Chains A and B, each alone.
Chain A
Amino acid sequence: DAKTTQPPSMDCAEGRAANLPCNHSTISGNEYVYWYRQIHSQGPQYIIHGLKNNETNEMASLIITEDRKSSTLILPHATLRDTAVYYCIVRPDNAGNMLTFGGGTRLMVKP
């Protein structure tokens, strides 16, 4: 079973920030928070991951609460191409650990 809880869907206006929440209250000390997204008819794509510090890359920012029980993925300036299902996943950061996907959040970016 997935160890994360996400809202099933969200809307965002093009050009605005998209903030996608994720609850992972049972996260273990050695587990990282990963975010993947899946654009329609494509395979999932890695976005970002973190342990306890906030992380930023060219795609997004990840904000993890101090108690690590929740996190937020931020797309700073959403475009129509960001319309996708976003998955929040917790897992140890080493090879051999499968990704356990939940239902994800279907983000719809609207003009």
Chain B
Amino acid sequence: GAGVSQTPSNKVTEKGKYVELRCDPISGHTALYWYRQSLGQGPEFLIYFQGTGAADDSGLPNDRFFAVRPEGSVSTLKIQRTERGDSAVYLCASSAGTSGRIDEQFFGPGTRLTVL
């Protein structure tokens, strides 16, 4: 079946602009995660959704970052007033989110964001 997909695969923007990154999780997966990966480092957690609600947004670096998942499926990560330091690969993952089962997270290919 289809895996996690993310669009766009690459996004180049100018400092100060607004960007939206989209994640389509695996169908039926209730848990959705966003991570950010800088060059040469491991991914860092940003936010976790269970269904439509953000259950843990402790990883968001500041209030310029916001994410939504209005229907409990597709999620959008929104970044306002982008800065050069926001340049990174943004990864999305989903999992079945079922209590008592293995919580294997399936990752998408990521969106590479470059802020000029």
Contacts and interface: CB of A to CB of B under 8 A. Distances in A.
A and B assemble together: yes
Interface of A: 2, 41-46, 49, 85, 87, 93-104
A98 B48 contact: yes
Residue from A43, A46, A102 with most neighbouring chain B CB atoms (10 Å): A43
Interface residues of B, number: 32
A96 B56 contact: yes
Contacts of A85: 42
B66 interface: no
Interface string B79-116: 00000000000010101111110111111111000000
A95 B102 CA distance: 8
Contacts of A94: 99-100, 103
Contacts of B30: 95
Residue from A41, A44, A85, A104 with most neighbouring chain B CB atoms (10 Å): A44
A89 B100 CA distance: 19
24 contacts: A2-B42, A41-B109, A42-B110, A43-B4, A43-B91, A43-B108, A93-B102, A93-B103, A95-B30, A95-B97, A96-B31, A96-B48, A96-B55, A96-B56, A96-B97, A97-B103, A98-B35, A98-B45, A99-B93, A100-B45, A101-B42, A101-B43, A103-B42, A104-B42
A80 to B, nearest CB: 21
